[in-house]
């Protein structure tokens, strides 16, 4: 099953509701960021690991999913269309950094 950012936003808007105090969501995001940092430190050898690399990769995926959850939740409770913002921001970055193609152009090519 595939999931779009729009679907996740709608789900999280229903879960948290527009106007939810986002302070708690932000604190959870920071907590998850710390967990990602810890896993990356273990994988790079900067911190001792008590799990296999395969287990660490699985855990990394779960923590990244948690981060995406909280980022999209913060956007959703503020009724921000994060997909639209990502496309607009990428378009400006593509011009600024002289990229041959922006995300919208890439998506257009992949749909053909």
Residue 55 belongs to a domain with what CATH number? 1.10.287.1080
Give residue-wise pLDDT tens across range 27-71. 999 999 999 999 999 999 999 999 999 999 999 999 999 999 999
| pTM of the shown model | 0.89
Same domain, 89 and 109: yes
Domain with 92 in it: 81-112
Same domain, 67 and 91: no
Same domain, 18 and 73: yes
Number of compact structural domains in the chain = 2
Give residue-wise pLDDT tens across range 65-99. 999 999 999 999 999 999 999 999 999 999 999 99
The 3-state secondary structure of the chain reads: CCCCHHHHHHHHHHHHCCCCCCHHHHHHHHHHHHHHHHHHHHHHCCCCCCCCHHHHHHHHHHHHHHHHHHHHHHHHHCCCCHHHHHHHHHHHHHHHCCCCCCHHHHHHHHCC
Same domain, 89 and 67: no
Decide if pLDDT at 4 tops 70: yes
Same domain, 11 and 56: yes
Decide if pLDDT at 112 tops 70: no
Please report how the helices 23-44 and 53-77 are oriented relative to each other, as an axis angle in degrees rounded to 10: 160
């Amino acid at each position: 099953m595939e999931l779009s950012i729009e679907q996740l936003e709608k789900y999280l808007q229903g879960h948290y509701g527009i106007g939810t105090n986002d302070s708690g969501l932000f604190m959870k995001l920071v907590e998850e960021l710390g967990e990602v940092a810890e896993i990356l430190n273990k994988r790079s050898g900067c911190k001792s690991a008590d799990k296999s690399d395969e287990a660490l990769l699985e855990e990394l995926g779960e923590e990244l999913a948690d981060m995406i959850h909280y980022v999209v939740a913060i956007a959703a409770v503020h009724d921000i269309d994060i997909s639209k913002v990502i496309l607009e921001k990428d378009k400006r970055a593509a011009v600024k950094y002289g990229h041959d193609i922006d995300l919208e152009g890439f998506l257009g090519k992949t749909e053909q």
